[in-house]
């Protein structure tokens, strides 16, 4: 019997996708021997927060960032789903599609806030969470250990989408912090030099902002 592929979901606002996101996904892919990581940009939030770039723009940035990487891909599952989107719904979609429990890549801060997510207890049962370190969330390592979840301190990024957006509004370049193809799109379309556009992200995804 052919062994099933080890596939992970990686959700976030990705506003914009940056090299820190890619580093996290690559470190975890190698450490956990994953065959594929599916990046899932969030659409409308059931909680709060807003994105500056539209969902379609964020999808295009992700597609540009992941182009040519066979084990990374972008999914529109939440962008195309009627709002709002919840993580548990996405997990169930892929569990049915793949006929197995998916892995779920989560930041340590998200793990500490998991109790506030919809059907959080079911979420832990319907996927295999993989936790990565986040600045300001040192307690997550012990929480992950208590829950028997893998924790990766190696996948720690200090690059922040919110800081990159502020830089762009000041006319500063994102060079070396985002993939070059992403930088070119952002600068050619002035995506982050405008006032914040309407739109929201899933607060369950804010660990990647």
Q: Convert the pLDDT of each residue in 149-167 to its tens digit.
A: 999 999 999 999 999 999 9
Tokens of 45: 């939030």
179, 64 contact by CB (below 8 A): yes
The predicted model gives 183-193 an average pLDDT of 93
Q: What is the mean pLDDT of residues 83-102?
A: 94
CB 10 within 8 A of CB 25: yes
What whole-number distance in Å separates Cα of residue 42 and Cα of residue 154? 25
First to last CA, the chain: 41
Class of domain 7-107+158-204: alpha beta
Are the C-beta atoms of 13 and 204 separated by less than 8 Å? no
Count of residues for the chain?
A: 209
pLDDT above 90: residue 120: yes
Question: Which of these, 166, 199, 187, 206, lies nearest to 53 by C-alpha position?
Answer: 199
- Per-domain residue ranges of the chain: 7-107+158-204
């Amino acid at each position: 019997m052919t062994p099933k592929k080890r596939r992970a979901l990686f959700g976030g606002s990705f506003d914009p996708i940056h090299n820190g996101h890619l580093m996290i996904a690559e470190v975890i892919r190698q450490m956990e021997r994953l065959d594929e990581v599916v990046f899932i940009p969030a659409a409308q939030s059931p909680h709060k927060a807003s994105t500056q770039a539209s969902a379609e723009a964020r999808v295009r940035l992700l597609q540009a960032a992941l182009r040519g990487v066979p084990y990374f891909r972008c999914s529109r599952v939440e962008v195309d789903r009627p709002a709002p989107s919840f993580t548990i719904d996405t997990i169930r979609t892929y569990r049915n599609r793949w006929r197995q429990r998916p892995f779920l890549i989560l930041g340590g801060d998200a793990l500490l806030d998991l109790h506030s997510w919809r059907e959080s207890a079911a979420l832990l049962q319907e996927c295999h969470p993989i936790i990565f370190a986040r600045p300001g969330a040192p307690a997550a390592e012990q929480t992950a250990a208590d829950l028997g979840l893998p924790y990766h301190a190696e996948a720690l990024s200090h690059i922040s989408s919110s800081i990159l957006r502020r830089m762009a509004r000041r006319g500063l370049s994102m060079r070396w912090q985002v993939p070059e193809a992403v930088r070119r799109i952002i600068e050619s379309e002035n995506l982050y030099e405008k006032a914040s556009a309407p739109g929201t992200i899933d607060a369950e995804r804010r660990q990647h902002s």
